[in-house]
Amino acid sequence: MKKFNFRNDYCSVGHNKILQALVDHSKNVYTGYGTDEETNKAAMLIKKEISNENASIFFLSGGTITNKVLISHVLKPYEAVISCDSGHINVHETGTIEQSGHKILTVPNYEGKLRAKDIINVCSAHTDEHMVKPKIVYISNPTEYGTVYNYQELSEISDVCKKNNLYLYVDGARLATALTSDYNDMDFSTFASLVDSFYIGGTKNGLLLGEALVVLNEELANDMKYSIKHFGGMYSKGFVNGIQFKTLFEDGLFYEIGKHQNELAKLLFTELKKLGVEFLYKQETNQIFPIFKNEIIKKIEDTISYEIWEKQDDQTIIRFVTHFNLTTNDIYDVVNMIREVMNDL
Amino acid sequence: MKKFNFRNDYCSVGHNKILQALVDHSKNVYTGYGTDEETNKAAMLIKKEISNENASIFFLSGGTITNKVLISHVLKPYEAVISCDSGHINVHETGTIEQSGHKILTVPNYEGKLRAKDIINVCSAHTDEHMVKPKIVYISNPTEYGTVYNYQELSEISDVCKKNNLYLYVDGARLATALTSDYNDMDFSTFASLVDSFYIGGTKNGLLLGEALVVLNEELANDMKYSIKHFGGMYSKGFVNGIQFKTLFEDGLFYEIGKHQNELAKLLFTELKKLGVEFLYKQETNQIFPIFKNEIIKKIEDTISYEIWEKQDDQTIIRFVTHFNLTTNDIYDVVNMIREVMNDL
Amino acid sequence: MKKFNFRNDYCSVGHNKILQALVDHSKNVYTGYGTDEETNKAAMLIKKEISNENASIFFLSGGTITNKVLISHVLKPYEAVISCDSGHINVHETGTIEQSGHKILTVPNYEGKLRAKDIINVCSAHTDEHMVKPKIVYISNPTEYGTVYNYQELSEISDVCKKNNLYLYVDGARLATALTSDYNDMDFSTFASLVDSFYIGGTKNGLLLGEALVVLNEELANDMKYSIKHFGGMYSKGFVNGIQFKTLFEDGLFYEIGKHQNELAKLLFTELKKLGVEFLYKQETNQIFPIFKNEIIKKIEDTISYEIWEKQDDQTIIRFVTHFNLTTNDIYDVVNMIREVMNDL
Amino acid sequence: MKKFNFRNDYCSVGHNKILQALVDHSKNVYTGYGTDEETNKAAMLIKKEISNENASIFFLSGGTITNKVLISHVLKPYEAVISCDSGHINVHETGTIEQSGHKILTVPNYEGKLRAKDIINVCSAHTDEHMVKPKIVYISNPTEYGTVYNYQELSEISDVCKKNNLYLYVDGARLATALTSDYNDMDFSTFASLVDSFYIGGTKNGLLLGEALVVLNEELANDMKYSIKHFGGMYSKGFVNGIQFKTLFEDGLFYEIGKHQNELAKLLFTELKKLGVEFLYKQETNQIFPIFKNEIIKKIEDTISYEIWEKQDDQTIIRFVTHFNLTTNDIYDVVNMIREVMNDL
């Protein structure tokens, strides 16, 4: 591994409180497939967090299978999902939605976001049985570019969905960072009240693995466990998920990790700005996109791991992601290193 | 939970050596999706174990998705898998193989096993394009009834597969108990040499979760990671699997747990036999099927958890499964309890 | 071609009245996809025939795609269809139902028929999300063995379906021969009143091609055209189907052809019986299954075309199918030929 | 029906030579599923036409199912098809490709065409197993806008496909009009030599129904009949297709109809141009796209049937399609009618 790791936020086993909880529960025996009391407690905590006792909570092992299960469960064979072109289901899930038989109808993204008016355009264009029938809208919060939806944007999308008889589903792989973003203006309950379903990412927020699928629209929850098994997402040791999510929501660890990740990204963004570094978008959550001259890239690429976002002529846009086991000192160290490289040129 | 738990072998978080290994590695950072060094070490250990350096090893999160990925990866759309009627993919995976578009061609099981001659019959009956084309054979070792294939049985099946241009795949959800069974007469390398692919179950053998898919037939391994992602089985924190499997194969823990489970089942079987209890099949691995009068069932059902296998008129066949965190004392305790119940009648 | 053709009932272009109708309408222009007036007239005639104005009628090009569309349209991903083992969808449609992601749950057939009590058994065995969920029952009338369901049998199945929340669908590839069979005791309206959907076979009853899917259960008809297109069964020149079906139902041609086919089969059955030929089942519609000594088979196989049903030691069960362009004289000719062969031995 | 029908080219039963051929063959009996001699003759004629004796020819009933079968047959589960955004499979087939599990990767069209350089871009962007793998390129000739590929354009695409290990498939729903277009500079053999597979549209070129799938790449033809049946495209009375296609290719009827359609479209285009009507694209085959002021639209919409292509502020782009049973007089009549309407304003 390189000295500084900003490639992603799923790079270490798990938060020590999560690991400790697993160790603490390791002498017990549980019933399988999420029927145990730990899973039940985790679900109760989440329902309390979103102030909705009628929500249904299902625990799965990863984000891609969670997206697949929810979308495939609610769609009839000829129905389609609307996503912006940069949506994770559209680009980086190797066609799992299509594997279930459904078309993804794409619209251009706007800083990673989907706009309400584009949903209307898609609906207007799909008028008869010679085309697929749009039935669900997929967005991510935060988006693939780390941006977050504010209340007005999400409300508009929610309204358009209701008017057009569409479900609204949110991929929350990094939801903790959205809810604790400086740019967020919704509490968790308000967010949940605007959508039919969303998932709470655990893998990118301190867990060994695990995502919590939350279904608000009761009609969609019916028979969900059949779909979870049918599409390959059933997890026999459900209690491993249950113990982790219970720990995440017992004392605010969920928000604590999200906030920590955001603060490190903000610090990194601010310090690099001071060095004159420009960015593709502003910092809203734990993903930032600095633009470096290629001569700088050459000097840092052996020390820092990151993802290349876009190669341009003499500069490169890269992605830095902060994660739970980085500290403020790590940020200052990497900034100092970059400062030296820039000064040397 | 009831006092004695014999319902299944996926009822506790994980073996303490596995948990300790995860804690020990929790300060490190790793690259994602199984490209890390721990995963590589785990794969090397498995290849060494089966004496095959050309094998390809992929780590997934559960048995059902592993079966789905392998079978769906190797079949063309119109090709089918042969399984005995009691096969896990046929009964207890909620149609995941069909979800990928493939028919399961079933033949009667013989104590949970598939026989070579039934494969020939299926091939003879499927002669043209109006019927699906058999292309892979699925068996489990041990079977759903806890029985194991011996060398002759597996060789015959392997030969028939080769002659009929069929792949052979083994579901090894409980493979450790098959390889350490008194009825097994193959070492791991010999077993592996007879098949095109199999998976090594971790979830039922001490891990928090995880299965290792082993592909011997090189042509089948090509592009496998695409299929793993496409069917929803890709696991971003691959190193969590890697660390666990490395630990499992470093010092023989894999066999140790399998053997322990078998020995407890053998003890329970032997002691219950002494009490006059009859069984559906003999004990070969960690699943045994005692037959109790219903009046006994009534007296033990609040204390012991188990699965009901088949209700008959005045008796019931149940399933007892032993697991890694049971001890010899637990077995004697439950036998004593049953003895008292039987004496009271 | 061999002199006598009893291989199947889809061996010639079409009945001359059907061809004449197509020629008569060939100067007209029509709107596409079944929105034309001829298709509407055909649908009206069928609705009248079954005394149900609320039925929805869709015209498709073949039986396999019709079965696929209806079953795939009504099932959720994890739901399954119950069929007897000899069902056409289970054996001779190359996994088209599985292609749509659904498992076929099979039960033993009884002279080609499915029994009500076997439906109950399947439902009892499928209790939770680890198994597929039975939701529709598929039968054929007549069956693959040419037998027909009588009122009591169909009523029992219909009742069991209603009680178990299952849909009932009938494959009517040769429905005309069932409705005109000596063993049938239901008029078309009564038959239709017992099921949720069925299709009326045209291809095997005088048309160039075409099947009429009839949906009685209104909730199932919703969005059906989307599924027809989605699964590949939409036919742009819908009026070609419309003209043919209108002609079939205008003056009783549908029954006329069915009856003719049955009468020829009955004559052939009766005359062969006189020669001492034994049969697998009695004659109920236009498929009969004589059993011949292999020495006879050798003498007739170059002159008569038929399908081999089952080879036994020194005899063979074959299938003779009668079709609309055979005449009474053809039957006598073939009987005479067989008589001579038998006498020669 | 309205007085003038320019909505589409699948609006009447069939060309009188085709119908006559069906009547002429109606006394014969044939073997099923395309194993008959008429189908064989049709295939031979097509192979002769493209100067390729090793081509495999399969006859199906419609364009959508033909596209689905070919594409689904050649792709592995995680592989994808590249199409321009206006491609028929992408817009107007209700997700049939996705129903088979495959993603359509779209690029912008250029007058309905796909450009070689866009194929390269797609390949460059799809680098690893987190994205689908492009494997086949789909184009239509003529395109959805009636334009045709010339030799240089098709050669470039063909070369790029070979270099990138992609198959090239052409949807030829209206291939006869492409091959007889003034803008075409390839003979049929040259066209065929550049692609792996294409289909020859019959439904829009005088047949009652039917398309001929031509597979040049021998490896792709293997087991094709299994896929045809598996995806629901098998047609029991294959000879009905065989007789029609034999007739189409016996005496040049195929070209005759295509040329007739083009000439009528050219006449209509030229005459409307004289009236000052503008068009979206120039006339290359039998689809033209005039742009009319909305006040004209109001005056012609009850007399002429057409499709609305795009509504703009005060004008509308419509589509006129010519078909085999229109005559030169019909064109003059409709032009006169439009002239009068325009003069009246």
List pLDDT tens digits, range C119-139.
999 999 999 999 999 999 999
- Residue C43 CA to residue B160 CA, distance in Å, equals 53
Question: C101 contacts in A (CB within 8 Å)?
Answer: 100-101
Reply yes or no on whether the pLDDT at C96 is more than 90. Answer: yes
* Nearest chain C Cα distance for residue A54, angstroms: 21
- Burial environment of residue C122 by CB neighbours within 10 A (0 to 12, 13 to 18, 19 or more): middle
Q: How far is CA B59 from CA A91, A241, B134, C329, in A?
A: 23, 19, 27, 70
Q: What is the pLDDT along chain B (345 residues), one digit of tens a residue?
A: 678 899 999 999 999 999 999 999 999 999 999 999 999 999 999 999 999 999 999 999 999 999 999 999 999 999 999 999 999 999 999 999 999 999 999 999 999 999 999 999 999 999 999 999 999 999 999 999 999 999 999 999 999 999 999 999 999 999 999 999 999 999 999 999 999 999 999 999 999 999 999 999 999 999 999 999 999 999 899 999 999 999 999 999 999 999 999 999 999 999 999 999 999 999 999 999 999 999 999 999 999 999 999 999 999 999 999 999 899 999 999 999 999 999 988
A276 part of contact set with chain D, CB < 8 Å = no
Determine phi and psi for C241, rounding to 5 degrees: -65, -45
With bands split at pLDDT 50, 70 and 90, how would you rate the model's confidence at C108? very high
pLDDT at B1: 67
A126 shares contact with chain C (CB less than 8 Å): no
pLDDT in tens, C269-307: 999 999 999 999 999 999 999 999 999 999 999 999 999
Q: What residues are paired with B106 via a beta bridge?
A: B83
Reading phi first (left if > 0) and then psi (alpha if -120 to 50, else beta), residue D2 is in beta
pLDDT, position A154: 98
Cβ contact A130–D80 (<8 Å): no
- Taking the mean position of all CA atoms in its chain, how far away is CA D123? 26
pLDDT given at position C307: 94
Q: Is A132 in the C-facing interface, judged by CB distances under 8 Å?
A: yes
Mean pLDDT of C58-73: 97
Where do the DSSP E strands lie in D226-311? 278-279, 287-288, 290-293, 304-305, 307-311
Determine which of B73, B230, B236 to mutate to test the interface with D (most D C-beta atoms within 10 Å): B230
Would an 8 Å CB–CB cutoff place A78 in contact with chain D? yes
pLDDT of residue A3: 84
Of residues C78, C226, C234, nearest to A133 (C-beta): C226
Whether C213 and chain D come into contact, CB under 8 Å, resolves to no
pLDDT of residue C1 exceeding 80: no
0.90 cut: is pTM over it? yes
| CB < 8 Å to D78, chain A | 94-95
- The distance of Cα D257 from the centroid of its chain, to the nearest Å, equals 14
Q: Tell me the C-alpha to C-alpha distance, in Å, between residue A62 and each of A253, B63, D174.
A: 20, 15, 46
Dig out the tokens for A170 from the structure: 């949110």
Residue C144 contacts B where some CB pair is shorter than 8 Å: no
Which residue matches tokens 């355009």?
A121
Q: What is the mean pLDDT of chain A?
A: 97
Q: Residue B287: in which H helix or E strand, if any?
A: strand B287-288
In chain C, residues with a C-beta closer than 8 Å to the C-beta of D208 are 22, 208, 237, 240
pLDDT surpassing 70 at residue A1: no
Structure tokens, C208: 């160039």
* Torsion of the alpha carbons at B322, B326, B327 and B330, rounded to the nearest 10: -90
CB contact under 8 A, A229 and C78: yes
**pLDDT tens string for chain D (345 positions)?**
678 899 999 999 999 999 999 999 999 999 999 999 999 999 999 999 999 999 999 999 999 999 999 999 999 999 999 999 999 999 999 999 999 999 999 999 999 999 999 999 999 999 999 999 999 999 999 999 999 999 999 999 999 999 999 999 999 999 999 999 999 999 999 999 999 999 999 999 999 999 999 999 999 999 999 999 999 999 899 999 999 999 999 999 999 999 999 999 999 999 999 999 999 999 999 999 999 999 999 999 999 999 999 999 999 999 999 999 899 999 999 999 999 999 988
From A230's Cα to the closest Cα of chain C, the distance in A is 6
Q: What is the pLDDT of residue A129?
A: 97
Closest chain D CA to residue C12: D29
Burial of D165 (0-12, 13-18, 19+ CB in 10 A): exposed
Distance separating alpha carbons of residues B252 and D270, to the nearest angstrom: 84
What are C180-237's pLDDT values in tens digits?
Answer: 999 999 999 999 999 999 999 999 999 999 999 999 999 999 999 999 999 999 989 9
Phi, psi of A26 (to 5 degrees): -80, -10
Could you report the per-residue pLDDT of A48-84, keeping only the tens digit for each? 999 999 999 999 999 999 999 999 999 999 999 999 9
Separation between Cα atoms, residue A84 and residue A108, nearest integer Å: 6
> What 3-state DSSP class applies to D105?
strand
* Cα dihedral across residues B65, B125, C93, B165: positive or negative: positive
Average pLDDT over residues C61-68: 97
* Chain A residues whose beta carbon lies within 8 Å of the beta carbon of residue B209: 61, 209, 235-237, 240
Is there a contact between A231 and C77 if contact means CB atoms under 8 Å apart? Answer: yes
Percent over 70 (pLDDT), chain B:
100
Give C101 to chain A, closest Cα distance, Å: 8
D99 close to A (CB below 8 A): yes
Q: Which pLDDT score is estimated for C97?
A: 98
Task: State the pLDDT at residue B94.
Answer: 97
- CB-count exposure of residue A190 (10 Å: 0-12, 13-18, 19+): middle
The whole-angstrom separation of Cα A238 and Cα A41 is 12
Minimum Cα–Cα distance from C233: chain A residue = A130
- Cα nearest neighbour of B227 on chain D: D78
Nearest-by-Cβ selection for C95 from B80, B91, B92: B80
pLDDT digits (tens, 9 = 90+) for A226-240: 999 999 999 899 999
E strands within chain D?
4-5, 56-60, 79-84, 104-107, 133-140, 167-171, 197-201, 211-215, 278-279, 287-288, 290-293, 304-305, 307-311, 315-321
Rounded Cα–Cα distance for residues D289 and D308 (Å):
9
Q: Which of B129, B132, B228 to mutate to test the interface with D (most CBs of D within 10 A)?
A: B129
- E strand intervals along chain A: 4-5, 56-60, 79-84, 104-107, 133-140, 167-171, 197-201, 211-215, 278-279, 287-288, 290-293, 304-305, 307-311, 315-321
B78 interaction partners in chain C (CB closer than 8 Å): 94-95
Name the residue facing C91 among B91, B100, B131 (closest C-beta): B131
Q: What is the pLDDT, as a whole number, of residue D1? A: 67
Chains that touch C (3 or more CB pairs under 8 A): A, B, D
DSSP B103: P
pLDDT of B345: 81
Taking contacts as CB-CB distances below 8 angstroms, the residues of chain D near A130 are 92-94
